Structure 1
């Protein structure tokens, strides 16, 4: 696991995925810093969902494509590696990266660290879900052009809970959006700005943990089928 984590960081730096990820977080933080304070309670949660969620989903796919192209996955396939460890290592490295990005966005955007533990907890859980989903989905594709449609679909679906929560989507039918992982994460990102009950946060954490389990199994099955065995 230590070797896989080291390899993932090296490949992420070599392909510029990790530096660009942090630069995006820096850009988000600067954009939030110039906003009037009254807009931060809505804008900061939105940008936090974008970074560890949708941006992470896209970037982990980019890493998978780079490793396919460079022959890394093919080289690892002839070693006694457990692909479960490969998936976990990649998820852990993206989670660590997302924690740094989340801290940058929140710290720069609010010019305060009050409530940061809530943000880091939500970022950690949401990053795990979207990284695993990104591995599962990207495993079947060969380049970013093909991956663009799933990324766009995830972006649209992940933003719907935000619109529902703030009253832009009304009606009982929209309650189905509670099942989307960005919705429970939204409560963690709102906690620094308003009172969120402990029960709500606990249920949100449980929902994201369940999502992580589902996403992990999807990633494990699809990655081995498409990336390792090369099935189309």
Structure 2
């Protein structure tokens, strides 16, 4: 069932130009990086890599949920014997795969190199899973992008704070709480092409993102069923 849902979502996403636009955004990021001197790439590439699979994916999945509510697709699926976890996982895996393709475009075009690409692809897939699931869970309550705008801004601001902290802009013991934000462990994967990151750090970062994925899945499953399927307000 998940495989069929992935194929259906892919066909719809390509037909509606959503996924081609997603990849064009990644290509645009890569081309923008060419304008930066090479000494700035270690700062800018991780930022762009996170924006694509993380925040862009968070916004894209929300708009998909809104569209499927309005055209009655979710209502129609509600009367089928389909498991809703299959629906959620299909969207998550598809956007995870597209995020990997987008990250590969950003890195290869922006740096003209394949150095560290396994770390980047792994980090992109994991962080995409987290933010796609969060996007499903949070957007389920809203009816359109206007209502979803405030959560988007909130998630964007909070998720970008670890980048400021890692570059020394936020100092003090209190800012160590930022290590709990999923964009922080993702940052280690995205920095790996430019600096030495220990295997232990990457392993712990991967485990942190997996833990976040489990939490995000619980949020997505609970809120999506409550608001999108049952229609509670």
**Fold match by TM threshold 0.5:** yes
Give the Å deviation of 1:13. 2.1
Residue in 2 aligned with 1:164?
Answer: 165
Q: Within 2, Cα distance between the matches of 1:10 and 1:69?
A: 19
Deviations 1:161-217 (A, max 9, x none): 000001011111000000000000000000000000010000000000000000001
Give the Å deviation of 1:11. 2.2
The reply to whether residue 222 of structure 1 matches residue 228 of structure 2 is: no
SS at match of 1:162: helix
Residue in 2 aligned with 1:143?
Answer: 144
Identify which range, 200-209 or 17-26, moves more after superposition: 17-26
Residue in 2 aligned with 1:14?
Answer: 15
The reply to whether residue 44 of structure 1 matches residue 45 of structure 2 is: yes
Residue in 1 aligned with 2:176?
Answer: 175
Q: Within 1, Cα distance between the matches of 2:17 and 2:230?
A: 27
SS at match of 1:21: helix
Q: Within 2, Cα distance between the matches of 1:197 and 1:130?
A: 25
Q: Within 1, Cα distance between the matches of 2:180 and 2:145?
A: 27
Give the Å deviation of 1:16. 2.5
Give the Å deviation of 1:15. 3.1
Residue in 2 aligned with 1:106?
Answer: 107
Per the normalisation by structure 2, the TM-score is 0.98
Per the normalisation by structure 1, the TM-score is 0.99
Q: Within 2, Cα distance between the matches of 1:16 and 1:138?
A: 21
- Consecutive unaligned residues of structure 1, counting only runs of 5 or more, are none
**Mapped contact 1:15–1:63 kept (Cα < 8 A):** no
- Consecutive unaligned residues of structure 2, counting only runs of 5 or more, are none
Identify which range, 65-74 or 80-89, moves more after superposition: 65-74
